[in-house]
A = this chain, B = another copy of it.
Amino acid sequence: MTQALGMPRSLGEIYGLLYATPQPLAFQDIVARLEMSKGSVSQGLRFLRTVGAIKPVVLAGDRREFFEPVVELRQLVAGFLRERLNPQIEIWGARAKALKPADFALETLSDKGRGTLANRLEKLKTWQKRAGTVLPMVSKLLG
């Protein structure tokens, strides 16, 4: 699944291990169990944390940090939308807004062509608005 959404496989492996393990695991446990480099695990955990797919657990009397999976689908999806999709939509929307009809070679076009382009330019701008309202709804639908 992570790969289908354009994220590294290692993320899926780490999350999967945490999911399949009833106790929280420490950094080193993951490195050992997945035979993965510390670097990958470090970056993987960081991303999973920012996305809200895992949560840190402190165990008394242990210096290490432990992790357990967030098992609510709603939160996983919300995190993905927030951290991955939304930023791109922002960028995309900003660019769409900056586009002016003059950015196209309008002089060379028929009236009909100009109309079509103007239409599409408008549509582009509504897309972003629509995304902005729909994405939060999706998160809620899964709650």
Q: Check if B130 sits within 8 Å of A134, measured CB to CB.
A: no
User: What's the nearest-Cβ distance from chain B to residue A74, in Å?
Assistant: 9
Interface residues of A in 77-107 (CB under 8 A from B): 84-85, 88-89, 92, 104
The reply to whether the CB of A117 lies closer than 8 angstroms to some CB of chain B is yes
Q: Check if B22 sits within 8 Å of A114, measured CB to CB.
A: yes
Q: Mark A20-47, 1 if CB is under 8 A from B, else 0.
A: 1011000000000000000000000000
Instruction: List B contacts of A124 (CB < 8 A).
Output: 19
User: What's the nearest-Cβ distance from chain B to residue A51, in Å?
Assistant: 14
Q: Check if A104 sits within 8 Å of B20, measured CB to CB.
A: yes
Q: How far is the CA of A113 from the CA of B20 in the complex (A)?
A: 10
The reply to whether the CB of A142 lies closer than 8 angstroms to some CB of chain B is yes
Q: Check if B113 sits within 8 Å of A23, measured CB to CB.
A: yes
User: What's the nearest-Cβ distance from chain B to residue A88, in Å?
Assistant: 4
CB contact under 8 A between A84 and B4, given known A22-B109, A141-B134: yes
30 A–B contacts, CB within 8 A, in A order:
A1-B89, A1-B92, A3-B6, A4-B84, A4-B85, A4-B88, A5-B5, A5-B6, A6-B6, A6-B7, A19-B120, A19-B124, A20-B117, A22-B109, A22-B112, A22-B113, A22-B116, A22-B117, A22-B120, A23-B113, A71-B123, A73-B127, A73-B130, A73-B131, A130-B142, A134-B138, A134-B141, A137-B141, A138-B138, A138-B141
